[in-house]
Structure 1
Amino acid sequence: MDEGPRYGTVTGTPVLHRWNAVLWVLCGLVPPAIATADDPGATRAGVLMLLGVISLSYALTALFPGQWLLGRRGHLYVLALGLGGVSYLMGGGAALYVFSQPHFWIYATGPSAAIGFSGLAAGLVVAGDLLRAGPDGWAAELTSGNVVAVPLGFAGSVLLGLAFQGLTAQSEARAHRLAAELAGARRSLARIEAKAQREQGATEERERLAREIHDTLAQGFASIVVLAEAARTALESDPGRSAQQLRSIEQTARENFAEARVLVGSAPRGGLTQGPVSLTLRRVLDRFAEDTGITLNTELGEVSCDQPTRIALLRCLQESLANVRKHAGASTVGVVLARRSYGVELEVTDDGSGFVVEESRGFGLDGMRKRLAELGGELTVTSSIGDGTLVLAVIPDHGQV
C-alpha cells in the first residue's frame, strides 16, 4: 500500500529532495561514469548499464511510490545490488555508496529498514571490491581506502540518520503540541466570543426594555400624575372637568397595565390596529387635546406601513407630545404625517419655550434616535430658546401593509 506523501524515516521538503537528487547525480553517478572512460569496453558498458538501471529505478519511485517492485522498496534493493555491481566492475564504489545514503533514509519505512538496506549495500560494495581483487589481493584491499571508507560511511550515515530522525520527531511533536495549543486557543476564543455575544444580547435587551418602559409606562405614569394634580385643583371649581380627568386617569392606568403585560411577556405584542397609521395617531392626539386643552393643527395623510414603522411613529409622537406637556408650555401643536418618495415622514412642531438641542441629556430623544436607526431612519430636532421646537422623524419605506 501507498504510505502517503510523508514516507520514510527522514522526511523533508520537495526542495530538499530535489537538491539531494542533484547532489547524488553530480557527485555519485557522474564520477564513476567518467572514471570508466579509459576502461575496457565491457567494463565501461557494464558500469554505465548499472548506473542507468539505478537512475531508472530512482525515477520510477516518483511514478509508482506504493508499488513493491517499482516503488520505494524496490528502488532500495536495486540501489544496493547496483552499488555492489559497480564496486565489482570498477574495483571501488565508496563515493557512490556515501552519496547514496540519503536514499536509504528517505525511502525506507523506518529506522531499522534504513539501517538494514544501508548495511546490505555496504556489504555488497565491500564484497564486490573483494571479489574483483581475488583471494590474493584481499589483504591489500582490506587496508585500502575504499574498503575502509564504506564501513565509516555506513556508521556515519546511521549516526546522522538517527540524529536527524530525532530532530524530525521533536519537530513533529512540537508541531502537534502547537496545533493542540492553537485548537485550545480557538476553543477559548469561541467561548469568549459566545459569552460576549450573550452579554451584548443582554445589554441590547436591557436597552430595549428601558426604551419601551420610558416610551410607555413612564409616560403613562407622568400623564397620570399631571391629570391627578389637575383634577385635584379643579375638584371644587369645575367638578365636570375633574370627572373627565379622572376618566382619563383610569384609561391611562388601564393602558399602562396592558403595556406592562406586554413587556413581561404575558400578553401578545403588536396590539396596534391594522390599516392607516393615522387612525392610531389620531386617537393619541385626541387624548392629548382632551387632557391638556392644547390646540392641535393636524394633517394626517392616509399612510399604510408595516408594524415596526407603525410602532416607531407612534412612540415618536407619544414622546414628542410628552415633552410638550412636561417642558414646552405650548399653546399650539402641529402634527403632519405624510408619505414621501423616500419614505414616511412625521413632523411635530410646537410654539413653546424651546431649548438648546445640544445641551439636551434626556433619555427620550436618544431613545427615539435609536428606535429610528434600527429601521434605517433618522430623527432631526430643531429648537432654540423662545422659538418652539420641531421634531422630524423620517423612516425609509419598508413596504405597505
Structure 2
Amino acid sequence: MGNSRWWDFAVVAGAVILTLLLLVNGAEGWELVSAIAVIVAIVLVWYLLGRHSEQGSPRAIAVVVAVIVLSGIGTAISPGMATVQAIAFPLVWILSRTTRDAVFANVLLAVSVGAGYVLRLGPTMDVLAEAAVIETISLAGSFAIGFWITRISEESDERARLIDELRQTQAQLELVSRDAGAMGERERLAREIHDTIAQDLTGLVLLAQRTRRELVGGSATVGETVDLLEDSARSALAETRSLVATTAPVGLSGDGIVAALERLATRFTRETGIAVAVTGAVPKLTRETEVVLLRCAQEGLANVRKHSGAVTCGLDLFVRDGMVGIAVSDSGDGFDPLAVREGFGLSGMRDRLALVGGDLRIDSRPGDGTEVTATLPLVAVPA
C-alpha cells in the first residue's frame, strides 16, 4: 500500500488520542486496562499485517475483520472507545478492494461499534436512539471521507497513467524525429550530389567522348579539351570536399550570386559550346538564398546540355513582388511539360525550393525552346 508512513503516523496518533480521552473521561481499573489493550491490539494488527497489505488481499481482509471486531469490543468495554471510528473508518476503506466492499465494511464497523455501545450502556430506548444517531452521523462522515479518498486515489492513478503515456509518446516522438532527421539528411545529400558531383561526372564523360573523337580526327583542340577534363575533375573534387565539410558550394566565393553564375556560364560554354548569357541583378542575398539559386541554375544548365539541343541559353536573375528568382531559358527543341515525366533533377529542384517556400515553373513547347523559372522569398542581407 502506497505512502504507509502517513498511515503509521495516523494510527499511532489515533492510539495516543484514544488513550488520552479514556483518561480524561475517568476510565480506570479494568476498564482502562482492557481498553488500552484493545488499542494496542489495533496498533499491532496494523503494523504486523495492515501496513504492507494490498487492497483486497487476504491479509487486508483479515485486518478489516480484526479492526471491526476490536472496535466493537473496545466500545463494549468503554463507551469512550467509540471514538476509535475516527481512524478505523479510513483504515477499513483503504484496505477494501472496491468501493462497494468499502461501503459494506464501513456499515459493519458502524454496526459493531453501535452494538458495543448498546451492550455497555444497556438496551434502553434512549441508548438505542443515541447509538443510532451517533452511528448514522459517523457513517455519513465516513462515506464522505471514503469517497474523497477514492477520488484522490483514482486521480493519482490517472495522473500516473498519463505520465507513463506521455513518456512513451515522448520516446516515440524522439524516435520519429531521429528518423525524420536522418531521412531529411539523406534527401539533402542526394540533392547536393545530383546537383554537383553527378553533373560534374556527366560533364567528364562527355568531355572524354569529345577527346576520343578529337584524337581520332587529329584535332588541334585536344589540349584544350584535356584542360577542360582536368578543370571538371578538380571541380568535382572540390564539390566533394565541400559536401564532406558541409560548407557552402565552392562556386560561391563571397563575391555574390551574379559572379558565381558568370563563372558557371563560362565553364559551361567551354565544355559544351553553348553560349550562355547572364542577365539581371539582385541585391546582396543571404548565403542560403544564393545556394538555392546556384543549384537551380546548375540543374537547369544540366538539362539544357542533356536534352535541349540548343545553341544558346540564358540565366536571368530577377526580383518581383517580394520574390527573387532565376529563369533558365534555351533556344532548343522544347517539349510538352504535360507529356514528359520529370526526372530526379526537376523533382529535386521542386523539393529544394519547397523547403524555403519557393516554387518551380516550366514553360515549354515543342520546337520553341524551354524556360524553367525558380522563385523563392527574397531574403536580402541588410546594408
CA contact (8 A) 1:336 1:348 kept: yes
Matched residue type, 2:353: L
Gap regions ≥5 residues in structure 2: 1-20, 22-81, 92-105
Residues 254 and 225 of structure 1, relative CA distance in 2, 3 Å threshold: same
TM-score of the superposed pair, with normalisation by structure 2: 0.63
TM-score by length of 1: 0.61
1:235 partnered with 2:215 = yes
Find the aligned partners of 1:339 and 1:178 in 2 and give their Cα distance.
58
Contact kept? 2:90, 2:145, Cα under 8 Å: no
**What runs of 5+ residues in structure 1 fail to find an aligned partner?**
1-76, 78-103, 131-138
Would you say 1:366 and 2:350 are equivalent positions? no
Which of 248, 253, 278 pairs up with 1:269? 248
AA aligned opposite 1:269: A
Distance 1:188 1:302 in 2: 50
Q: 1:317/1:112 Cα in 2 relative to 1: closer, same or farther (>3 Å)?
A: closer
Please tell me whether residue 338 in structure 1 is matched to residue 318 in structure 2. yes
Q: CA deviation at 1:289?
A: 1.0
CA-atom RMSD, angstroms? Answer: 3.7
Greater CA radius of gyration, 1 or 2?
Answer: 1
- Cα distance in 1 for partners of 2:377, 2:152 equals 59
Shifted more, 206-215 versus 329-338: the winner is 329-338
For residues 276 and 261 of structure 1, the distance between their equivalents in structure 2, rounded to whole angstroms, comes to 21
User: Residues 345 and 238 (structure 1 numbering): CA distance in 2 closer, same or farther, change over 3 Å?
Assistant: farther
Q: Is the 8 A contact 1:275 1:304 kept in 2?
A: no
Which amino acid counterpart does residue 301 of structure 2 have in structure 1?
Answer: L
- 1:188 matches 2:168: yes
Change (3 A) 1:112 1:400: closer
Q: After the TM superposition, which of the residue ranges 209-218 and 297-306 deviates more from structure 2?
A: 297-306
Residue in 2 that maps onto 1:348: 328
The residue number in structure 1 matching 2:199 is: 219
Residues 112, 241 of structure 1: alpha-carbon distance in 2 compared, 3 angstrom cutoff? closer
Contact 1:303 1:338 in 2 (8 A): no
Aligned to 1:84: none
Q: Distance in 2 between matches of 1:352 and 1:110?
A: 97
Pick closer, same or farther for the CA change 1:168–1:400 going to 2, 3 Å: closer
Q: Give 1:209's aligned residue.
A: 189
Distance 1:228-1:164 versus aligned 2 partners, 3 A rule = same
Check whether the contact 2:248–2:291 (CA below 8 A) recurs between aligned residues.
Answer: no
- In the other structure, the counterpart of 1:293 is 273
Query: CA distance change for structure 1 residues 156 and 345 in 2, over 3 Å: closer, same or farther?
Result: closer
Q: CA deviation at 1:380?
A: 1.1
Where does residue 302 of structure 2 map in the other structure? Answer: 322
Q: How many residue pairs align between the two structures? A: 280
AA in 2 matched with 1:387: D
**Is structure 2 residue 128 aligned with structure 1 residue 148?**
yes
Do structure 1's residue 256 and structure 2's residue 236 form an aligned pair? Answer: yes
Deviation sequence 1:49-107 (CA, Å, 0-9, x none): xxxxxxxxxxxxxxxxxxxxxxxxxxxx9xxxxxxxxxxxxxxxxxxxxxxxxxx99xx
What is the Cα deviation at residue 184 of structure 1?
0.2
Report percent identity of matched pairs.
36
Matches within 5 A, 1:84-99: none
Trace 1:110-149 onto structure 2 (pairs within 5 A).
111=89, 143-144=124-125, 146-149=126-129
Alignment partners' CA distance in 2, 1:300 and 1:289: 19
